[in-house]
Amino acid sequence: MSASSKKHVREDVTRKLEIALDRLYRIWNEIGIDESQVGNRAGTVSMHLCNLLEEMVSEEEQLREQMAANIQRFVDDLSTLCLELAVPTVKVSEHLSMVQREKELRTRLENLNREKQERLKKLKMLHERDQHLCDTLCTTPYYVPTNMVPSKEQLQELEAHVRGLEAEKEKRHKEFLHTKQKVVELCNEMDYDPETSFERDLICEDGEAFQLSTENMESLKNVLHDLERKNHNLVQQVKDLWARIHSLWDRLELEESERTDFESRHQGHKHSILSGLRDEVLRCEQLKFANLQRFVEGARRELVDWWNRCYFSKSQRDAFPAYHDETYTEELLEVHERELVNMQQYYKDHEHVLDLMTKRDKLWNEMLEFEKKASDPNRFFNDRGGKLLREEKARKKLMKDLPKVEEDAREEIEAWEKENGRVFLLEGVPFVHYIQRQWELFREQKENEKQERMKNKAKQMEEEMTFGSKPTSNTPAKRRFLNTPTRTPLKARKLNETPRTPASVSRIQHSSIFPSPYTRAPLSATKTPNTNHTTRRRSLRQARKHLQESMQNNNTSRSGKKKGPATATPGAHPDMFSQTTVSSGASVNNVSLATTGSYHEFAKGLSQTARPNCRSSVAPSCGSSPARRW
């Protein structure tokens, strides 16, 4: 075995030395060290190895010498102890190795030393008892030679002598005095008041007057026994109460000043002290119950945090049934604290994997946030300071980092699974399934959002087809000025063409909000028109008015009668207008204006007295020729 081990070590050292030398020479070659320096460095390596081996050999030689010295010292000590204890001399086989001999001698030496100490301890105890009894009974102590270890026979004789003295001590007067002292002490300790006449006589009367009869001695023993039992019970109760109080104080984190003050007022184990301790326990129990629930709930919150950090599934969490226990006790709190320690140890054992998963989930949440921002249609209107550009750069960086972190986590988990021979679970599933499930949920959410948008769009189109479209803005569009234009004379030619729907009227046709049926003066109605230009144009409003008058004249010439307003609807109020939009293809008989009131109001507004500052290129002024209209 030794030869094979030696050969194995030699081969291992040689192999490692070859590897190290190859690496050293490769490094030296890469550095570019010349041949002489390489030789010097190789010599240094050899010197270090030789020195190391020499030091190891020297240390082992010192160990061998130390073991030899220990063996010799153990042999000498054993010889001395055998003489002191009067036991046969210890002999060890010479065929044992040095290590075995040293171990055997040390074990026997320890056993003999232990026996020596036990004899001396027992001798001291018996001697003290013998001396006390002899002092009490005024007898001669048992003689034991000094400066030597007693034999077993000597110890047995001394023990028998002490027993005899103890039996004698129990007699009569000395026994009475001793018992009386104990009774008085017990009564003072317990704050006990004598109940019987015998107890009062025992405590109050002098010892010389007490009758040392057999009956009295027996009664004295009974009283002492009864008081001792009561005292023991009282001491034990106080001890238990103090232990309970200190435990409650620690859990309630009571101030040290309050503790010291209470302890100073409750020294001893009297009945009054016992009552005060019980009251304190009751008070602390009430405080504990009020705070125990808070402690347990705090431990549960911390436990949930560790469960989340360790990716525990619901089944794994349900394996801890105490989490749902509503009976808040110290045992429940201790169970939660032990579970917290277990979870912390679990996290510590798998910290390298869980840290990667935490980093991966952080990147995943950032990706979801970017996707949410990308679906916001108003993001282009809130771009200030290159915000969109920064977000795009961050998104590209994230999409590069996320696969890398996932790959690192996968490699770590596979290495762990190979080492431990079981699957590493994340929320109850393997890593691959965990990642696949997240991506499937992400795609499903995107599809649901898409379907919701399509559904809302179809619903909006259906409502518009039924009720008409709504304005795109709550702010109404500005109305064009209807005064005489000073430029773009080509638009005047369009007045001779077939009437078309004005933009404002066209908007009314497709709107569910009706404009006011009465006229509104333009913003420039009070301003003096520009007279520097000779080119005149009719406004669209005046063109429609002229067209309406022509239609009335034609109807009058055909029927030979004068009719009322052209746009009046039978049965309707004469001052109101129709909401039908004028289109370019409509018949002139169906023309109605959505931006004017009755014809009477329209004609009244053309008078110079009503509108002195308004000039029209369509309606003729007083004294003007009809030929000037066109």
129-149 residue pLDDT tens = 888 777 656 677 888 777 778
Angle 150-151-155 (CA atoms, 0-180°, nearest 5)? 75
pLDDT digits (tens, 9 = 90+) for 52-110: 989 999 998 998 888 888 888 888 888 888 878 777 777 777 778 888 888 888 888 88
Entry pTM: 0.34
Report the SS3 class of residue 429. strand
Range 306-310 average pLDDT: 89
Q: What single letter denotes the amino acid at residue 175?
A: E
Single out the residue of 13, 37, 8 nearest to residue 24, CA to CA: 37
Per the CB < 8 A criterion, the answer to whether 402 and 360 are in contact is yes
d(CA 294, CA 354): 29
Cα separation, 459 vs 455, in Å, equals: 6
pLDDT of 587 over the 50 cut? no
Question: pLDDT value at position 47?
Answer: 92
Tokens standing for residue 395: 């998104």
172-190 vs 152-169: helix crossing angle, rounded to 10: 80
Contact 595, 505 (CB under 8 A): yes
Neighbours of 605 (CB within 10 A): 16
Looking at residue 279, its pLDDT comes to: 92
d(CA 577, CA 256): 93
Residue 78: count of CB within 10 angstroms of its CB: 21
Span 489-499, pLDDT tens digits: 444 444 444 44
pLDDT of residue 19: 92
Run of H or E residues at 418: helix 387-420
Does 592 score more than 70 pLDDT? Answer: no
Selected residue with higher pLDDT from 535 and 249: 249
d(CA 81, CA 114): 11
The torsion defined by the Cα of 240, 242, 245 and 250, in degrees rounded to 10, comes to -110
Percentage of the chain lying above the pLDDT 70 cut: 68
Question: Could you count the other beta carbons within 10 Å of the beta carbon of residue 304?
Answer: 13
Report the alpha-carbon angle 125-130-132, nearest 5: 100
Q: Indicate if the pLDDT at residue 472 is higher than 70.
A: no
Task: Using DSSP, state whether 276 is helix, strand or coil.
Answer: helix
Please give the full DSSP string across 527-593, using - where no structure is assigned.
SPPP-S-------HHHHHHHHHHHHHHHHHHHHSS--S-TTPPTTS-TT----PPP-TTS-GGG---
Q: How far apart are CA 606 and CA 614, in angstroms?
A: 9
pLDDT digits (tens, 9 = 90+) for 207-251: 556 655 556 778 888 888 888 888 888 888 888 899 878 867 876
CA-based nearest residue to 478, from 515, 502, 504, 506 = 504
